[in-house]
């Protein structure tokens, strides 16, 4: 039982490049989330999903897209990376929206 | 809309001293409340949560928190801290309005540093 895993762990991009972050969970959770963490800002919700095939915008969705084609996976895409997207990205999952969220180890992204 | 305020961004304490990390929330409806801990270079993990019932909630590693509805607070306490408690602590709230799409709103975090 691996819980929530994220790949990659680290990535450096140049401005304008694209990439996809993968989140996988093996707990059969319905809800999945993508957050970004910046110093002094706490965690801010980018996008979330309440089930396979669904996605919804969070607090800071601009510049990101997501897909939930399979229940266990939640992908976060950056189509044209910008330096303002330099951050640590966390994925989380939960059984329901009001339940405990389980977090992955994070992806540290630097955009030059 | 819900919001969370963690009143201290940093709290330095000495080992074996008591500690209180303060959290106030704002919501017009009933809420669920959470405290998460983040150790260096790791993801967040649940410390404790309040859903209903007793207002005093006990969590892992000797931490506890008290829900105070009148003061809209959910302060985290530990009577005697260890060096290993050094971490960032996040308070979070989930309100019960609007169907089943509940979301967590996090505070900005409190960095607890335990010194020998």
Q: What is the pLDDT at residue A98?
A: 74
Cβ-based neighbours of A63, under 8 Å, separated by 6 or more: A78, A79, A80, A82, A84, A85
Does the beta carbon of A27 lie under 8 angstroms from any beta carbon of chain B?
no
**A–B CB contacts, 8 A cutoff, strictly below:** 52
Paired tokens of B31: 């809420």
Q: Give the whole-angstrom CA distance, residue B67 versus residue A91.
A: 28
Q: Do A40 and B108 touch (CB under 8 A)?
A: yes
B97 band by pLDDT with thresholds 50, 70 and 90: low
pLDDT in tens, A9-54: 999 999 999 999 999 999 999 999 999 999 888 899 999 999 999 9
At residue B100, the pLDDT reads 47
Q: Do B32 and A98 touch (CB under 8 A)?
A: yes
The Cα diameter of chain B in Å comes to 48
Q: Which residues of A touch B32 (CB under 8 A)?
A: 98
pLDDT tens digits along B78-89: 999 999 999 999
Which residue from B86, B6, B78 is spatially nearest to B38, judged by alpha carbons?
B86
> Which band of pLDDT confidence, cut at 50, 70 and 90, is reported for residue B104?
confident
Cα-based distances in Å from A74 to A64, A84, B37: 13, 22, 23
Q: What is the pLDDT of residue B80?
A: 97
Any CB–CB contact under 8 A between A39 and chain B? Answer: no
Phi, psi of A36, deg, nearest 5: -120, 145
- Which of A44, A50, A90 lies nearest to residue B43, judging by beta carbons? A90
Q: What is the C-alpha separation between A31 and A48, in angstroms, rounded?
A: 7
B30 contact A CB<8A: no
- Model confidence pLDDT, tens digit, residues A60-94: 999 999 999 999 999 999 999 999 999 999 999 99
Residue of chain A whose Cα is closest to the Cα of B107: A42
Cα(A85)–Cα(B105) distance, integer angstroms = 20
- Which of A3, A4, A30, A97 should we substitute to test contact with B (largest number of B Cβ atoms within 10 Å)? A97
Q: Please tell me what DSSP assigns to residue B52.
A: S
Structure-block tokens of residue A26: 């093996």
Does the pLDDT at position B99 exceed 80?
A: no
Residue B103 has pLDDT above 80, yes or no: no
B10 touches chain A (CB under 8 A): no
- What was the pLDDT predicted at B54? 87
Alpha-carbon separation of residue B53 from A71, A92, A112, B34 (angstroms): 33, 26, 50, 14
Which pLDDT belongs to residue A72? 97
pLDDT tens figures, B2-44:
789 999 999 999 999 999 999 999 877 788 899 999 998 889 9
pLDDT in tens, B43-92: 999 999 998 888 899 999 999 999 999 999 999 999 999 999 999 999 99
Q: For residue B65, give the nearest of B80, B53, B48 by alpha carbon.
A: B48
- From chain A, pick out residues whose CB is under 8 angstroms from the CB of B96: 98
A1 touches chain B (CB under 8 A): no
């Amino acid at each position: 039982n691996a819980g929530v895993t994220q790949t990659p762990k680290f990535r450096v991009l140049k401005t304008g490049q694209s990439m996809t972050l993968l989140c996988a969970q093996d707990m059969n959770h319905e809800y999945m989330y993508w957050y970004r963490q910046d110093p002094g800002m706490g965690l801010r919700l980018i996008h979330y999903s309440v089930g396979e095939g669904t996605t919804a915008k969070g607090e800071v969705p601009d510049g990101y897209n997501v897909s939930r084609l399979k229940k266990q996976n939640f992908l976060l895409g950056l189509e044209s990376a910008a330096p303002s997207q330099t951050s640590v990205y966390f994925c989380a999952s939960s059984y329901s929206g009001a339940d405990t969220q389980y977090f992955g180890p994070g992806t540290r992204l630097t955009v030059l | 809309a819900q919001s969370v305020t963690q009143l201290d961004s940093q709290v330095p304490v000495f080992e074996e001293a008591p500690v209180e990390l303060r959290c106030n929330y704002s919501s017009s409806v009933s809420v669920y409340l959470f405290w998460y801990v983040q150790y260096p270079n790791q993801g967040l993990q649940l410390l404790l949560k309040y859903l209903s019932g007793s207002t005093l909630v006990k969590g892992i590693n000797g931490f506890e928190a008290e829900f105070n509805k009148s003061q809209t607070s959910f302060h985290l306490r530990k009577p005697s801290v260890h060096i290993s408690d050094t971490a960032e602590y996040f308070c979070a709230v989930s309100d019960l309005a609007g169907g089943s799409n509940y979301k967590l709103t996090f505070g900005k975090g409190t960095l607890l540093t335990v010194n020998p």
